[in-house]
Amino acid sequence: MKLQKLLFILFLSVFTLSAVAQTESQLRRKKEAIQREIEQLQKNLNKTANGKKLTIQQINTINAQIRLRQDKIGTINSEIKNLDNQISQNTNTVHTLQGQLGDLKKEYAGMIRFAQRNRNSYDKMMFIFAAKDFNQAYKRIKYLQQFSQYRKKQAGYIENTQQDLNGKIKVLDKTLREKSDLLKEQERERERLSKDKSKQSVELSKLSKDEKQFRQDISNRKKQQAQIDRAISAAIQRAIEEARRKAAEEARRKAAEEARIAAAKAKAENKPAPATPAPPTAKAKSTGELLTATPETARLSAGFENNRGRLPWPVATGTITERFGLHKLDQASYTNDGVDITTTDGAAVRAVFAGKVAAVQVVMGRTVVLINHGEYFTVYQNLKSVSVSVGNSVDTKQTIGVVANTGDDAVLKFQIRRGQAALNPEAWISK
């Protein structure tokens, strides 16, 4: 029973450590990915000369760097928590093995003492020859053999348990060193975060000094984005009206076909032809119903919706440096209907899902591509070149153009809309 209990504990320990190792690997990959994003943002900041005026993009980059640094510290905390769990489990296993080893050694010592005490009175040969018959002599021989084998097995259990104990102690020491290294890394990241926040304070103080200039910059940005958003809304409305026109044409075609069949039936039955029905007045359909009126568009829309949270990013590498919704800088504010993704120079822009190109427009010097996915639309703004045209069908991750530089950085402005309503892209693209 003791051996079974020992094996069960060892099995449970191995199984648990395997699951923890998988989580550790995931956390390590996440931490490395965050570090790559931080380094890319730092490169972008380093490109900006000290003499240049402060831009909204620089402030957004610093804010994103702080957010990523906080995420990295959170990931390190999760790693430390995992290691604490491992340390606790390994410590319990070590104590259990030490107890098992002590019991085995006591039991083995008792067997040795018993054998020593009875060595003279139970001489093996005399013990066997003293049997009253052959059958009893045979049983005594088997008993002596089994006793000897059991002693050997007990010695083997002691040796194996000692090896397992030594192995667990080594693992425990290694885990404690890893925790010490992570605590040092955590402290370094906290220092870097403090420096980033100091830098943020310095830049925001500059912003306060140049309040008039920033208000003008934000006002210009609002006007530019409002014109682009009007163009996007107009393109979406055209797609809706086209769907409405096709739905009306389909209704008229069906009515005409029904009238033709009715007239043919009346003629066959030698009856007067029925009166021509008035044009159908179908009930008004919602935007969603219009955009998913055909089986093809319905499937496309359902596929897009089913991939919520799993859509690929519109660029292979990048960091969200401006989030969805209302933003305030000092006393000024503006709204972003999508997200700004800072990426590398010359990065390819990709469709996040299969669909049809609904518009390619240049508005105020910025190229915008609009792709229809049934009831949903994706918007790719700030492209310097485009490799698709209106009416083209595109596949998931197909390149549609190359991102342009905004100031010193390559920034893609990305939106997702359901009809005309803007949605938060962070809820749709993969983490």
Q: How many DSSP H helices and E strands does the chain contain? A: 7, 13
Cα separation, 99 vs 77, in Å, equals 33
pLDDT of 380 reads 96
pLDDT of 408 reads 66
In 3D, which of 16, 374, 339 has the Cα closest to residue 171? 16
Cα separation, 100 vs 38, in Å, equals 50
Q: DSSP string covering 336-388, please? A: ESSEEEEE-TTPEEE-SS-EEEEEEEEETTEEEEEEEETTEEEEEEEEEEE--
405 bridge partner residues: 410
Domains of the chain and CATH, by start: 2-209 (1.10.287), 213-431 (2.70.70.10)
Cα separation, 293 vs 14, in Å, equals 56
Three-point CA angle 340, 341, 343, nearest 5°:
145
Cα separation, 297 vs 285, in Å, equals 15
Contacts of 108 (CB under 8 A, 6+ apart): 151, 154, 155, 158
In 3D, which of 357, 362, 359, 318 has the Cα closest to residue 340? 318
Q: DSSP string covering 265-282, please? A: HHHHTT-PPPPPPPPP-P
Backbone angles phi, psi at 56, to 5 degrees: -60, -35
In 3D, which of 359, 364, 402, 410 has the Cα closest to residue 384? 402
Cα separation, 210 vs 58, in Å, equals 14
The beta-carbon contacts of 212-221 under 8 Å, at least 24 apart in sequence, are 213/53, 214/56, 214/329, 214/330, 214/332, 215/331, 215/332, 217/55, 217/56, 218/56, 218/329, 218/332, 218/333, 218/334, 219/332, 221/56, 221/334
pLDDT of 303 reads 94
DSSP H or E stretch at residue 420: none
194: number of Cβ within 10 Å: 11
pLDDT of 15 reads 47
Q: What is the dihedral of CA 184, 185, 190, 193, to 10 degrees?
A: 150
| Token output for 300 | 């496309």
Cα separation, 3 vs 154, in Å, equals 10
Half-sphere exposure (Cβ direction) of 336: Cα atoms closer than 13 Å: 22
Cα separation, 183 vs 395, in Å, equals 45
Reading the chain (431 residues) residue by residue, the pLDDT tens digits are 444 555 555 545 554 545 455 577 777 777 777 777 767 666 666 665 444 555 667 777 777 777 877 877 777 777 777 777 777 776 776 677 667 667 666 766 666 666 665 554 445 555 555 566 767 666 666 665 666 666 666 666 666 666 766 676 776 677 777 777 777 777 877 777 777 777 766 666 665 556 666 666 777 777 778 888 888 888 888 888 888 888 777 767 777 776 677 666 666 767 676 665 555 554 567 777 888 878 888 999 999 999 999 999 999 988 888 889 887 766 667 788 999 998 988 899 999 999 999 999 988 778 999 999 999 999 999 999 999 999 999 999 999 999 988 666 789 999 999 998 999 999 999 97
pLDDT of 248 reads 74
In 3D, which of 337, 425, 317, 245 has the Cα closest to residue 41? 317
345: number of Cβ within 10 Å: 13
Cα separation, 128 vs 133, in Å, equals 10
pLDDT of 332 reads 65
In 3D, which of 404, 309, 312, 305 has the Cα closest to residue 350? 312
Residue found by looking up tokens 């949605």 in the block:
423
SS3 (DSSP) at 409? strand
pLDDT of 427 reads 94
